[in-house]
Amino acid sequence: MLTGELESQSLPSLRLTDKVWQALQLMNDNHVTHLPIVEGDKYTALISEEDLLQADNDNDEISALSQSFANPSVKENEHFLKAVQLAADNGLSVVPVVNEDGELVSTLVYTDLIKQASGFMSLNDPGALIVLEIDSHQYSFNEISKIVETNDAQITQLNTSTDPETRLMQVTIRINKPEVSDVLASLQRYEYNVKYFSGEELYTNELRSNYDNLMNYLKI
């Protein structure tokens, strides 16, 4: 899904001649802490509520705060995850989307992006989540997939990341099977370190106890 294809809320944009108090009121009315500034149709900058509150006078034009302007944005032909990353890295409540001519196409709200990301990762679908921690040179998608499939399950989503401190790879997988004790047992047999897991429902104490007993048995 590209950013230009996402449905967006109808958010206002600001002009350099708008007053500080007007910009703050628009942010409050739309429950955001950032708004884009445009000149004509061209996207100029993104201003934050924090920047506006630094103004000496609420009646000042926002152009007086130009030293605080930043212009983060994504292109309309970029994947929407680029917008998620931009918002997360910069603490943005909205992300401007521009075309090749620098014109403002839409303004995406971060909460809507998170909902889109949730759907993209199938987080609302029945299934389970498993996080493995392994040495990067030991990573094998084929082996992990084979282990999962031998337990009558399939991987529906897989992401990898590397911890900058330990240099260990974290492999996050979603499977289409809510009950994961058999998958976990198989991963443990192959000496995978399961850092975290969750099923569609929380394990009961009895089920968790049985799983722990199985793990202890396998270690003998």
Instruction: Give the residue numbers spanning the domain of 183.
Output: 128-219
Secondary structure of the chain in the HEC alphabet?
Answer: CEHHHCCCCCCCCECCCCEHHHHHHHHHHHCCCEEEEEECCEEEEEEEHHHHCCCCCCCCEHHHHHHHCECCCEECCCEHHHHHHHHHHHCCCEEEEECCCCEEEEEEEHHHHHHHHHHHCCCCCCCEEEEEEECHHHCCHHHHHHHHHCCCCCEEEEEEEECCCCCCEEEEEEECCCCCHHHHHHHHHCCCEEEEEECCCCCCHHHHHHHHHHHHHHHC
Confidence of residue 216 (pLDDT cuts 50, 70, 90): low
Q: Could you tell me if 94 and 135 lie in one domain?
A: no
Q: What is the mean pLDDT of residues 187-211?
A: 68
Q: Could you tell me if 155 and 112 lie in one domain?
A: no
Residue 35 lies in a domain: yes
pLDDT at 156: 87
pTM of the predicted model, to two decimals? 0.66
The number of folded domains in the chain is 2
**66-75, 143-152, 202-211, range with the lowest pLDDT:** 202-211
Q: What is the mean pLDDT of residues 176-205?
A: 80
Percent of the chain with pLDDT over 90: 54
Domain boundary among 100, 118, 136: 118
Residue 123 lies in a domain: no
**11-15, 57-61, 123-127, range with the lowest pLDDT:** 123-127
Q: What is the mean pLDDT of residues 183-209?
A: 73
Residue 149 lies in a domain: yes
User: CATH no. for residue 192?
Assistant: 3.30.70.260
Residue 179 has pLDDT above 90, yes or no: no
Q: Could you tell me if 135 and 205 lie in one domain?
A: yes
